[in-house]
Chain A
Amino acid sequence: MTTVDTTHELDHHDEGSYLTPKYGAMGTVWDWMTTVDHKKIGVMYLFAVLFMFFLGGVAALAVRLELLEPVRIAADGSITGQLFGGDGEAIATGNQVYNRLFTLHGAIMVFMFIVPSVPASLGNFFLPLMLGAKDVAFPRLNLFSWYIYVSGSIFGIASIVLGGVDTGWTFYTPYSTTTDADHWRVLLMVLAAFVLGFSSILTGLNFIVTTHKLRAPGMGWFDMPLFIWAIYATSIIQVLATPVIGITLLLLIFERLFKVGIFDPGLGGDPVLYQHFFWFYSHPVVYVMILPGMGIISELLSVHCRKQIFGYRAIAFSSLGIAAVSFIVWGHHMFTAMGELASTIFSALTFLVAIPTAIKVFNWIATLYKGSIAINTPMLYALSFLFLFSIGGLTGLPLGALATDLHLHDSYFVVAHFHYVMMGGTVIAFIGGIHHWWPKMFGRMYNEKAGMLGCVLVFIGFNLTFMTQFFLGTQGMPRRYASYVDEFQFLHSLSTYGSWFLLAGFLTHLFNFIHSLVAGPKAPPNPWGGLTVEWETESPPIEHNFHHEVLVKHGPYDFDTVVPPHCDERDFPLPPQDQVRAH
Chain B
Amino acid sequence: MATIDANKPDLPAAGAKSHPLYWKNRGFAHHFRNADEQFDACKLGMWLFLTTEVLLFAGIFCAYAIFRMLYPEAWTAGSHHLDWRFGGLNTIVLLISSWTVASGVRSAQLGNNAALIRNLLITLVCAALFVFIKLYFEYIPKLSMGKAPGTFFSYPYAHDPHEPLWWSVYYIGTGIHALHVFIGAGLLTWVLVRAIKYEAYGPTEYTMVETSALYWHLVDLVWIFLFPLLYLIH
Q: Which residues of A contact B (CB under 8 A)?
A: 1-6, 8, 128, 133-139, 141, 201, 205-206, 208-209, 212-214, 239-244, 246-248, 250-251, 254, 258-262, 264, 267-270, 273, 277, 544
Contact = CB atoms under 8 A, between A and B. Distances in A.
Q: Which 4 A-B pairs have the closest CB atoms?
A: A247-B59, A4-B27, A134-B31, A260-B168
A134 B30 contact: yes
B128 to A, nearest CB: 25
B55 interface: yes
B56 A243 contact: yes
Contacts of A258: 149-152
B31 A262 contact: no
A247 B175 CA distance: 13
B41 A262 contact: no
B48 A205 contact: yes
B63 A246 contact: no
Interface in B94-143: none
Contacts of B40: 213
Nearest to A198: B52
Contacts of A277: 59, 62
Contacts of A268: 67, 70-71, 74, 161-162, 164-165
Interface of B: 20-21, 25-33, 37-38, 40-42, 44-45, 48-49, 51-53, 55-60, 62-63, 66-67, 70-71, 74, 149-152, 161-162, 164-165, 168-169, 171-172, 176, 207
Nearest to A137: B41
B48 A260 contact: no
A8 B37 CA distance: 14
Contact of A267 (B29, B37, B57, B165): B165
Contacts of B30: 3, 5, 8, 134-135, 544
A212 B43 CA distance: 12
B38 A261 contact: no
Given A1-B38, A6-B27, A261 B52 contact: no
A139 B28 CA distance: 13
A5 B28 contact: yes
12 contacts: A8-B30, A128-B31, A201-B52, A205-B45, A206-B45, A243-B59, A258-B152, A259-B150, A260-B171, A261-B150, A264-B150, A268-B161
Given A135-B31, A139-B31, A258-B150, A269 B165 contact: yes
Contacts of A269: 67, 165
A209 B60 CA distance: 28
Contact of B29 (A3, A242, A251): A3
Contacts of A544: 30
A273 B164 contact: no
Contact of B151 (A134, A243, A267): A267
A308 B27 CA distance: 42
A247 B56 contact: yes
B199 to A, nearest CB: 15
Nearest to A208: B48
Given A136-B31, A259-B152, A264-B150, 6 more contacts: A1-B42, A3-B30, A4-B20, A138-B45, A242-B52, A261-B164
Given A8-B33, A259-B150, A2 B21 contact: yes
Given A2-B26, A5-B28, A213 B63 contact: no
A133 B31 contact: yes
A327 to B, nearest CB: 11
A205 B164 CA distance: 37
A260 B21 CA distance: 47
B31 A244 contact: no
A209 B45 contact: yes
A1 B41 CA distance: 12
A260 B172 CA distance: 9
A256 B24 CA distance: 52
B149 A261 contact: yes
A205 B168 CA distance: 31
